[in-house]
Homo-oligomer: A and B are copies of this chain.
Amino acid sequence: MPDRLGPRFAEPMFGKLTIIGFGLIGSSIARAARARNAAGAIVACDHSDEARARIGQLNLADEIHALPEKAVAGADLVILCTPVGACGAIAEAIGPHLQSGAIVSDVGSVKGAVVSACASHIPARAHFIPAHPVAGTEQSGPDAGFATLFLNRWCIVTPPEGADVDAVEKLAAFWRALGSNVEFMTPAHHDLVLAITSHVPHLIAYNIVGTADDLEQVTESEVIKFSAGGFRDFTRIAASDPTMWRDVFLNNKDAVLEILGRFTEDLSALQRMIRWGDGEGLFKLFTRTRAIRRSIIESGQESPAPNFGRNAKADE
């Protein structure tokens, strides 16, 4: 498995790349694309004055804009990197300003709703090909990005029916250039896969942190002191960007409710095992879950280092 990005291309894959929404993901795309010379010029667009100022200070782009409709002029590839709730309005704003042959993509954690919100606004002369790089950290903003964020991670591309084959392949090649493996899916299947691998895990992490915060019998100071027992791991996930996650849940309602229903059923069964003292049932589940982790480590999606101890061994 490669541990770094490939060498610079002699010729950039795209002339002009416009990134709309320049946070963790957007700024990581810019850094990786620059490192590989995947775009001749990078145009950054962000509605926040503060973000635009930082992009300038960090020298992450060749042009910086506040308005999406200005930022897409002459762009060969446009990637929407805003929370998914904002994509529809941006697609509407940029539609008339896209040049012929431009590819418009996104990075949203939800695909069905994004496709519905955007597709009608992208004119026939451009190609709308949604995608989702499954990578991230719990941090936000242009400073949080880094060039290797997508290395060895999967990018799911969900081309609409009848999408231009060359445009799809060009987008896939771009993500591979950033270090990703590419997989193709329908938007509906993507949304179900992400509901179980990402959305519901985030929801239950947010939920347990909220439950802890509300307890009267256990003080907040106790929760914090003794968080090394496992709770700490949930707070990391529950520190992710609130706007992004609000939009995910509002836009992937059906799949999230479906998976949540199963989660709750399973939890009721576990609760019953505890109440009735079914040690064998508990042991059986706790053993089965170990095997999945081994597979995740073997597939290169996780390190086997005892991270629960926060790399304490290194300090020894």
A interface with B by C-beta (< 8 Å): 3-4, 109, 134-139, 144, 146-149, 151, 153-154, 156, 181, 183, 189, 192-194, 196-215, 217-218, 220, 222-240, 242-243, 245-247, 249-250, 253, 256-257, 259-260, 262-264, 266-267, 270-271, 273-275, 277, 279, 282-283, 285-290, 292-296, 299, 301-303, 306-310, 312-313, 315-316
Contacts and interface: CB of A to CB of B under 8 A. Distances in A.
A210 B302 contact: no
Contact of A242 (B137, B286, B295): B286
Contacts of A228: 134-136, 153-154, 301-302
Nearest to A147: B316
B292 A235 contact: yes
Given A213-B289, A296-B235, A270 B301 contact: no
A200 B208 contact: yes
Contacts of A213: 288-289, 292
Contacts of A289: 206, 209-210, 213, 235, 238-239
Residue picked from A149, A249, A293, most chain B C-beta under 10 Å: A293
Contacts of A240: 286
Contact of A226 (B134, B294, B306): B134
Given A136-B309, A289-B239, A309-B136, A270 B207 contact: yes
Contact of A286 (B136, B245, B259): B245
Given A211-B259, A212-B196, A253-B275, A225 B270 contact: no
A288 to B, nearest CB: 7
A308 B63 CA distance: 31
A288 B149 contact: no
Contact of A316 (B134, B146, B183, B192): B146
Most buried by B among A156, A215, A286, A287: A286
Nearest to A247: B279
Given A231-B198, A242-B287, A267-B204, A212 B292 contact: yes
Contacts of A136: 228-229, 308-309
A97 to B, nearest CB: 29
A146 B135 CA distance: 31
A228 B302 CA distance: 8
A282 B137 CA distance: 20
B149 A109 contact: no
A308 B237 contact: yes
Contacts of A262: 211, 214-215
A242 B196 CA distance: 23
